[in-house]
């Protein structure tokens, strides 16, 4: 929950973090700045791809909570002039009621949070990172939701929704250039086990990376995919 709070605050959303422990946490986004960003893009004449920015954010945040082996429950405030949401992370089967408030809608079932997300990869020179990120922010109508330095490999990484931008020198990019896609999963171990059971082959064992853990898998059709599990800080 602390990581979600920091991300929301980085977008200048109004956010309040409730009680947090290893097995339970509550967070309320009182006003969503990502929604504001999208509406400014709409007003500028940009064609928006998603019906709502919540379609992406709820999937992402649910996956982050699921990676901590907790169950995600959320509600969305329906008021168009004051968009916000409330989240609760709790142990499965703890008997607590899901959070709810007036004029809210439930956007997705908890099982959906366990679906993986394929990210398109684009590799660019280090000097082109900011320009590339801005392009996809404007194209998709949403801000960059992840950015970090991978100092060990002299890379900079950013994500804008389903687009993963990897920047560095030609030498630094060479070891990651052969992967065809990135698969963001809620549990790396579970998806590696599933992939190998149905014919995939792990060609690079799990390791710790700045965003969590990753591994690389060769699929039966020849596709080389980086599996990534984001871990809470």
pLDDT digits (tens, 9 = 90+) for 133-146: 999 888 887 888 88
Dist. CA 219–CA 183, nearest whole Å: 12
Going by pLDDT thresholds of 50, 70 and 90, the confidence category of residue 95 is: very low
Least reliable range by pLDDT among 7-16, 110-119, 153-162, 221-230: 110-119
Mind listing the domains of the chain with CATH numbers? 2-113 (no CATH), 117-230 (3.10.180.10)
Going by pLDDT thresholds of 50, 70 and 90, the confidence category of residue 90 is: confident
CA 97-102-104 angle, 5° bins: 80
Dist. CA 175–CA 217, nearest whole Å: 15
Dist. CA 185–CA 104, nearest whole Å: 28
pLDDT over threshold 90, residue 15: no
pLDDT digits (tens, 9 = 90+) for 58-79: 766 776 677 667 777 878 765 6
- Is the overall model pTM greater than 0.95, yes or no? no
Length of the chain: 233
């Amino acid at each position: 929950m602390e990581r979600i709070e920091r991300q929301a605050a980085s977008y200048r959303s109004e956010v309040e973090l409730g009680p947090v422990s290893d097995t339970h946490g509550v967070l309320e986004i009182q006003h969503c700045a990502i929604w504001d960003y999208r509406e400014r893009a709409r007003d500028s004449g940009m064609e928006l791809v998603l019906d709502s920015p919540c379609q992406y954010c709820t999937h992402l945040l649910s996956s982050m909570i699921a990676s901590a082996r907790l169950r995600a429950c959320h509600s969305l405030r329906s008021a168009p002039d004051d968009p916000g949401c409330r989240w609760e992370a709790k142990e499965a089967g703890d008997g607590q009621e899901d959070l709810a408030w007036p004029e809210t809608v439930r956007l997705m079932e908890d099982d959906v949070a366990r679906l993986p997300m394929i990210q398109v990869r684009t590799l660019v020179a280090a000097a082109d990172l900011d320009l590339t990120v801005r392009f996809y922010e404007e194209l998709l109508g949403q801000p960059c939701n992840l950015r970090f330095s991978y100092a060990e490999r002299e890379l900079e990484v950013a994500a804008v929704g389903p687009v993963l931008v990897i920047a560095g020198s030609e030498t630094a990019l060479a070891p990651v250039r052969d992967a065809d896609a990135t698969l963001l999963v809620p549990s790396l171990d579970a998806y590696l086990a599933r992939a190998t059971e149905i014919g995939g082959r792990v060609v690079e064992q799990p390791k710790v990376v700045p965003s969590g853990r990753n591994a690389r898998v060769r699929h039966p059709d020849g596709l080389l995919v980086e599996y990534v599990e984001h871990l809470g800080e």
